[in-house]
Structure 1
Amino acid sequence: MNATLVYKGITDIYNEANVSGNGSVMGVLNIPPSLNKAINILMVGILFIIMISFGCTMEISKIKAHLFKPKGVSIALLAQFGIMPLTAFSLAKILHMEPIKAVTVLICGCCPGGSLSNILSLAMKGDMNLSFVMTTCSCIAALGLMPLLLYIYCQGFDGLEDVVPYVGIISALALTVVPCVIGMAINHYKPKYSPFIKKAGLCILIVAAVLVFSLSYFAIKDVVWLILTLDVLAVAALMPLIGFTLGYVMSMICRLSPKCSRTVSMETGCQNVQLCTTILKVAFSPQVIGPMFLFPLVYFTFQCTEALLLTLCFRCYRAFKPLAEDGDDVKQKGGEAAMMVPQITA
């Protein structure tokens, strides 16, 4: 199918009734090629730095330990690539979203878990080893699963399966896996360099992020408000909440411990917004994607807000609940009591 025909209604979304006072079209992004290239390079660089720094936090021994007992990782991957893509597809259908919005939401829903989930798992007193392994495994699995899921779910929208840039998506996914593996190799063979790489990466990341934000705002300042529509905001608010909730419920049904269930919950609801933004910005032309390449930032805002509220509720619950009521703490308390027995009897 001709991509021009499929996207006929896409550009109309941003053109219709969106003409400024001087007669210029506000809906179509006419970013200068040099500025567009600069933003693309910076976003690819940010993704590379994030993933190589993340790889420096991973230990191969921990990955092996979870792979030999794959129940937690398997359930997490099923939740990540089962719940989130289906949620994205269902919301796009229910809200009758336009083609480019639907593609954007589907790409976000099919993305692997992000590094933010590791921080949130720590705040929720989750299993950190499982969290790191889940993030790594989901990035690797996304190489095959993300294009496959996009192809499957795009069948529900007329013609979209023919215009999704699968090559660009796979290239962006490679930018997450390769630097992550490099970081893991550095941490395994030259662990003394890992702290320096993480600190240097953080400094470079902050500078690059400020540059990307500034350049992006300059490029789309006239049309940025077009993304703040009710359907986009509704999806951005509901997707992470559904992911957090169903991730936890699914884990409890599969009899994971509360500690692991909280980890899976955070991993499911948190998408890799850096990867999603890079795909939308690099794989699509500005005239096609319009301001929708900022959707991951809207999603990120709701994702953080909802996760912080859940963390606050959990911390309040733990503050008023005896530790012995939590299965993990019972086990830990029992172990400590057993260790104290010889001292008491002595």
Structure 2
Amino acid sequence: MVDVDQLSLELPGALQLAIKVVVALFLFGIALDTRVEDLRAVVRRPWVMAVGLVAQYAVAPGVALLLTLVLDVRGSVAIGMLLVACCPAGNLSNLLTHRARGDVALSISLTALSNLLAVLLTPLAFGFWCGLNPAATELLRDVSIEPATVMSEVALLIGVPFALGVLVAWRRPRFAESAQRVVEPGALGLLVLVVVGGAAAQLDVLVDYLGVVAVPIVAHNALALGVGYATGRACRLGPPGVRAMTFELGVRNTALGVVLALGFFSDLGGVVLVAALWGLWDVVTGLVLSTWWRRGEGSVARGAPGDAIVGP
């Protein structure tokens, strides 16, 4: 079996294009569901947003870095873990928050803000945290990556569909409300089809290397959810707000991670495997946790942004 650091892993061009379409649809859906009253939460509770962003781009990747060092994972696996950790939250976190009877307004506001800033922060955070892992640094010396190229790719995948969605929501609010009901489940369905198709195309590789990446992915996912939960409690949020923060920090935009992994690290198989399998595990743990919370007590409502937030 080839060392995971030397494994070259590529998906068919059609599947790669499909993943990019899914990423764009997710961001378009987030923008369609972003209302003015949601964004007012940023003004009403700027400290909550600030803490959430710091946790997302500093605390969570820092925990991921420590995990890569403790587990002594291969360089490409470390790069994959840090890449996913530096990606913003995705539309899936909003769906899971709603299912868990959490504060959807807070979730959408955080997702919108983190994705807006991801154009700059994701490439910068990824480069910084990878530079602190010796195994990852060693591998990256042989990979030519221009920060401007990464930023342009992230901007194309996030900035353009997000801006288009905001424009549609502003100029055609009724259409946006109707379209959003179709875009969210449609994008989720496409994501499932793409993941299943990609897994089927590389089934033999997944079976061979599952043991290499399974423990890091499971441990990292659990820690990420834990960071989100702890952040929500530290911000003195009510139960709905804690649930929202848990999914915002624990459920990443792995579709974006897969696109970046295939685009820049296809010759480092561990990066692609971590991003792809994390996406599957995100769905499993997210559905289990949201279902468990849904069965308990909790207020359901989109409500006014910040209504579920308590604190000074």
1:110-259 equivalences under 5 Å are 110-155=86-131, 156-157=133-134, 158-160=137-139, 162=141, 163=143, 165=145, 166-174=147-155, 175-198=157-180, 201=183, 205=187, 209=191, 212-213=194-195, 216-217=198-199, 219-230=201-212, 232-259=213-240
1:262, distance to aligned residue in structure 2 (A): 2.2
Q: Distance in 2 between matches of 1:150 and 1:292?
A: 13
Partner of residue 266 from structure 1, selected from 238, 247, 253: 247
Q: Distance in 2 between matches of 1:203 and 1:254?
A: 31
Give the AA of the match of 1:56.
L
Give the stretch that moved more between structures: 102-111 or 58-67. Answer: 58-67
Give the AA of the match of 2:91.
S
1:240, distance to aligned residue in structure 2 (A): 2.3
CA deviation profile, 1:89-122 (whole Å, cap 9, x unmatched): 1121111111111111110111111111112212
Contact 1:76 1:134 in 2 (8 A): yes
Structure with higher Rg: it is 1
1:296, distance to aligned residue in structure 2 (A): 2.8
Q: Structure 2, unaligned stretches of length 5 or more?
A: 299-306
Structure 1 residues 214 and 118: alpha-carbon distance in aligned structure 2, compared to 1, 3 A threshold: closer
Q: Aligned with 2:204: secondary structure?
A: coil
Residue 56 in 1 paired to residue 32 in 2?
yes
Q: Distance in 2 between matches of 1:146 and 1:111?
A: 6
CA deviation profile, 1:261-284 (whole Å, cap 9, x unmatched): 221112111111111111112233
Contact 2:228 2:250 in 1 (8 A): yes
- Tell me the TM-score normalized by structure 2: 0.81
Contact 2:224 2:250 in 1 (8 A): yes
Q: Which residue of 2 aligns with 1:97?
A: 73
Give the AA of the match of 1:128.
V
Give the stretch that moved more between structures: 208-217 or 188-197. Answer: 208-217
Q: Aligned with 1:302: secondary structure?
A: helix
Q: Distance in 2 between matches of 1:164 and 1:130?
A: 38
Give the stretch that moved more between structures: 208-217 or 124-133. Answer: 208-217
Q: Distance in 2 between matches of 1:206 and 1:126?
A: 19
Q: Aligned with 2:58: secondary structure?
A: helix
Q: Distance in 1 between matches of 2:292 and 2:182?
A: 35
Overall identity of the aligned pairs, in %: 23
Name which structure has the greater RCO, CA cutoff 8 Å, separation 6+.
2
Q: Distance in 1 between matches of 2:26 and 2:99?
A: 20
Q: Which residue of 2 aligns with 1:73?
A: 49
1:63, distance to aligned residue in structure 2 (A): 0.7
Give the stretch that moved more between structures: 221-230 or 97-106. Answer: 221-230
Q: Distance in 2 between matches of 1:254 and 1:240?
A: 21
Q: Which residue of 2 aligns with 1:298?
A: 277
1:241, distance to aligned residue in structure 2 (A): 1.7
Give the stretch that moved more between structures: 303-312 or 67-76. Answer: 303-312
- Tell me the TM-score normalized by structure 1: 0.74
Contact 1:226 1:291 in 2 (8 A): no
Contact 2:5 2:269 in 1 (8 A): no
Q: Structure 1, unaligned stretches of length 5 or more?
A: 1-10, 17-26, 320-327, 332-346
1:299-338 equivalences under 5 Å are 299-318=278-297
Give the AA of the match of 2:159.
V
Partner of residue 13 from structure 1, selected from 3, 18, 42: 3
Q: Aligned with 1:58: secondary structure?
A: coil
Give the AA of the match of 1:314.
W
1:257, distance to aligned residue in structure 2 (A): 3.0
1:71, distance to aligned residue in structure 2 (A): 2.0
Q: Which residue of 2 aligns with 1:5?
A: none
Structure 1 residues 258 and 153: alpha-carbon distance in aligned structure 2, compared to 1, 3 A threshold: same
Aligned residues: 295
Contact 1:48 1:176 in 2 (8 A): yes
Structure 1 residues 106 and 15: alpha-carbon distance in aligned structure 2, compared to 1, 3 A threshold: closer
Contact 1:56 1:184 in 2 (8 A): yes
Contact 1:124 1:262 in 2 (8 A): yes
